[in-house]
């Protein structure tokens, strides 16, 4: 009998038994060809080691395949895990870099803001000092003018007193030398007679009918201020009294001007040196190149020129505002 696979042999054996005739008087027994069936069983036995070996080979191959597949799977899994870790590390590095960049940007913004504030404070301080210097110079000019006027007013009265010992031919023009400013401002100076102490004494000096013979010389003392004026140039006591009163008024007027100048200077210093932000003096707008003086309503778009030292327009606006205020107060 030709050999075949175990499966084929088993199929032939099954067919042989299925087609066999039943035994007499029996339904579950059959009559088969013994030799044929035994040959089939021998063939199955002969083929069994081959099939078993083939099965073992298949199982071995299967195990090899499974091991190789498991190895490949493990390698793929490890690669996947490594890639995932690499991605996580890259993501962490990216997040760290982004956070560090954000921190650097924030720090740079803070430093930039600090630099802006420092620059603004420096400019503000520089401009404030410049304002003080301009105000001080302006006040110095005003004070010098007031001192000059006061000195001029007092100088005339001093010359009257100093020339009292000169000869009589020089006495005639001395009344014409009386202080013109005092004459103009006589109405501004009012002297209460109760504030005056008047002493009468004899004139002193070389020769003359009225010298050392009559009580024509006058010494006038202003009690509130302690100013003393002596006059003996004229012949009569009445004329010396009037001259002494004019000189006293001129000195009181000079004192008044000095006080006004000092008060104006103090007021100017108090305005300039106030650091309260609510009391704005000037605004410096660098983006618009604009300068505004809130005291005089002066506005111009030449901030760069002002910072370079062109302050004439600013000073003129202050002078004009001050003169306008003085005129308004006089009216």
Considering 38, 59, 82, which residue would you say is the last residue of a domain?
82
Residue 38 within any structural domain of the chain = yes
* pLDDT of amino acid 167: 36
Q: In this structure, are 22 and 76 located in the same domain?
A: yes
Residue 110 within any structural domain of the chain = no
Inter-residue contact 225 to 252 (CB < 8 Å): yes
Residue 93 within any structural domain of the chain = no
* pLDDT of amino acid 173: 36
* pLDDT of amino acid 133: 76
* pLDDT of amino acid 271: 58
State the angle between helix axes of 34-162 and 312-330 in degrees (0 to 180), rounded to the nearest 10.
50
CATH number at residue 263: 3.30.160.20
Domain that holds residue 76: 6-82
Residue 167 within any structural domain of the chain = yes
Question: 156-205 pLDDT, tens per residue?
Answer: 544 433 333 333 333 333 333 344 444 444 446 788 888 898 888 887 75
Considering 269, 292, 310, which residue would you say is the last residue of a domain?
269
Integer Cα distance of 244 and 179 in angstroms: 12
Inter-residue contact 220 to 245 (CB < 8 Å): yes
Strands 227-231 and 217-222: antiparallel
Looking at the chain, the whole-number percentage of residues with pLDDT higher than 70 is 78
What's the Cα-to-Cα distance from 201 to each of 210, 218, 220, rounded to whole Å?
12, 6, 11
Q: What is the CA radius of gyration of the chain?
A: 64
* pLDDT of amino acid 178: 40
* pLDDT of amino acid 186: 45
Structural domain count, the chain? 3
Question: 236-291 pLDDT, tens per residue?
Answer: 888 888 888 889 888 888 888 888 888 887 776 655 545 555 567 788 888 889 99
What's the Cα-to-Cα distance from 240 to each of 75, 155, 218, 219, 223, rounded to whole Å?
131, 18, 6, 9, 19
């Amino acid at each position: 009998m030709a050999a075949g696979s175990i499966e084929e042999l088993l199929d032939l054996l099954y067919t042989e038994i299925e087609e066999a005739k039943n035994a007499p008087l029996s339904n579950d027994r059959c009559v088969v060809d013994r030799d044929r069936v035994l040959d089939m069983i021998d063939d199955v036995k002969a083929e069994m080691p081959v099939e078993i070996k083939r099965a073992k080979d298949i199982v071995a191959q299967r195990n090899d395949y499974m091991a190789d597949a498991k190895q490949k799977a493990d390698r793929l899994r490890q690669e996947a895990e490594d890639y995932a870790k690499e991605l996580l590390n890259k993501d962490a590095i990216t997040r760290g870099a982004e956070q560090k960049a954000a921190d650097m940007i924030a720090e740079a913004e803070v430093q930039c803001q600090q630099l802006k504030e420092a620059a603004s404070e420096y400019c503000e301080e520089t401009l404030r000092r410049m304002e003080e210097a301009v105000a001080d110079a302006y006040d110095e000019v005003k004070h010098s003018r007031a001192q000059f006027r006061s000195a001029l007013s007092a100088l005339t009265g001093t010359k009257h007193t100093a020339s009292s010992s000169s000869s009589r031919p020089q006495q005639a023009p001395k009344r014409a030398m009386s202080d013109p400013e005092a004459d103009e401002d006589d109405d501004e100076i009012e002297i209460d007679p109760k504030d005056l102490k008047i002493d009468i004494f004899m004139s002193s000096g070389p020769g003359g009918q009225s010298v050392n013979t009559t009580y024509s010389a006058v010494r006038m003392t202003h009690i509130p201020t302690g100013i003393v004026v002596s006059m003996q140039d004229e012949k009569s006591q009445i004329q010396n009294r009037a001259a002494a009163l004019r000189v006293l008024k001129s000195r009181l007027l000079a004192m008044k001007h000095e006080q006004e100048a000092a008060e104006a200077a103090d007021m100017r210093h108090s305005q300039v040196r106030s650091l309260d932000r609510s009391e704005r003096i000037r605004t410096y707008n660098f983006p618009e190149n604009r300068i505004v003086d809130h005291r005089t309503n002066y506005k111009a778009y030449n901030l760069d020129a002002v910072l370079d030292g062109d302050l004439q327009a600013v000073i003129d606006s202050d002078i004009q505002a001050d003169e306008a205020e003085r005129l308004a107060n006089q009216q």
